Structure 1
Amino acid sequence: MAKEADPRAAVLDAESPHPVIPQAGRLGRAIDKGGIVFAVGIVAAMLILIQEVVLRYVFNAPTIWAHETTVFLCAIAFVYGGLYCAARDSHIRVVLIYDVVRGRPKRVLNAAISFVCLIASAFFAWASWLMVERAIFRPDGSIRFESSGSAWDPSYPAYLKLFLFATLVLMAIQFMILTVNYFRSSRDRDRISN
């Protein structure tokens, strides 16, 4: 019996040393490339915090924007991290059964797991839309972005909720692509073996 290749041992993009599973498609490759933006955001948050420490403790001149900005940058990076892990098939799964299964049952299991994740992501996207509605729209229908209520008062809470909604929609689409591609690979390999 031939040993099945691990889908995570995937295609290595010519420009990137990071593996993106082939089943993730073009969207997965775009998500993988977009990860650098959020990695830079984490570094920017670190630099902002260093600046704030120097300004506060050396010059006794703290800013009013540093804390909220670093929290926002880190929050969007963590939210994007879920989408990034889905595209690279590095999300957490219970492997008690998964690691024992081989061949067609494993490909079917991959499709089923992706389908369940698609349903969950769609429900979470719907729930996040309810948060977006409260964060952006007034009861009369006019638009006013929710703000933090601090002295600086940025609209970061509304932006974060919008970003969460967009990311969950993309995650649902990514899991739909994974479901279809895993199902196709399972069906195509069955045809080849017959």
Structure 2
Amino acid sequence: MKANPPTSENPLGVAEPESVPSNNPLDRVIQRMGQAIAWLVFLAMLVSVYEVIMRYVFNAPTDWAHETTTFLVASIFALGGPYALATNRHIQIRILLDRLSPRKRNWLEIFNLLLGVVFCLAIGYAAWVLAFNATHSPTGAWRLETSGSAWNPPLPAFTKIVILIAIAIMAVQQVVRIGRQWRNKQ
């Protein structure tokens, strides 16, 4: 990332993250899916507006609006991780990388990606345990964890499954990037 010249929109010339479309087919698929999933924000807003109108105008609150909105927003948040990686919009501190030679930078990028895989595996294990416990009874029989509310949907189980899927996608993205960096090492 290079500093930008100061403009009226960016008076300090703060560096903007590079959002380069990926040549990686996986990232392109994730970008397209992310743009579709972004519409869930609109759906969550519609559900919230509906609840407010029903509650305060018609004095008829819903049983389902709060839990549905929470599930939608949690899913959007979880799936934002793979989208951020696919669009290269994740947080990057490149002070050290920008000072290295291309060869050393490539090795450090590979190391960073390996750390990303290790992180995804560690947090993925925790997500697997949560998702398994949300989809199986203590005896091992299939059942979905429910919220325990008056509506009692299985949205907690679905949320944990979405989180597990998002982490798995991020791990695969990191592995694909390791392969690309390895082929490009100098």
TM-score (normalizing by structure 1): 0.82
What is the CA-CA distance between 1:113 and the residue it aligns to? Answer: 1.1
1:72-108 CA distance string (max 9 Å, x none): 1000000011111112222223323123224222222
Matched ranges for 1:51-90 at <5 A: 51-90=50-89
Q: Counterpart of 1:60 in 2: which secondary structure? A: coil
Count of equivalent residues = 170
Give the equivalent residue in structure 2 for 1:3.
none
C-alpha displacement at 1:38, in angstroms?
Answer: 2.1
Deviation string 1:108-142 (CA, Å, 9 cap, x unpaired) is 22222111101111111111111112111112111
Residue pair 2:20, 2:88 contacting (<8 A) in 1 also: no
Once superposed, what is the RMSD of the aligned Cα atoms? 1.6
Aligned mates of 1:114, 1:88 — CA distance in 2: 16
Gaps of 5+ in 1: 1-7, 10-17
1:95-174 equivalence runs, <5 A? 95-174=94-173
**What one-letter code is carried by the residue in structure 1 that aligns with 2:162?**
F
Q: What is aligned with 2:20?
A: 19
1:61 shift after superposition: 1.1
Cα-to-partner distance string for 1:8-53 (whole Å, 9 max, x where unaligned)? 86xxxxxxxx73233xx21111111111232100111011111111
Q: Partner amino acid for 1:105?
A: K
1:158-179 deviations in whole A, cap 9, x for unaligned? 0011111111111111100011
Residues 48 and 70 in structure 1, CA contact (< 8 A), matched pair in contact too = yes
Report the residue type matching 2:87 in the other structure. R
Identity %: 34
Q: Which structure shows the higher helix fraction?
A: 1
Tell me if 1:178 matches 2:177: yes
Question: 2:147–2:154: 8 Å Cα contact kept in structure 1?
Answer: yes
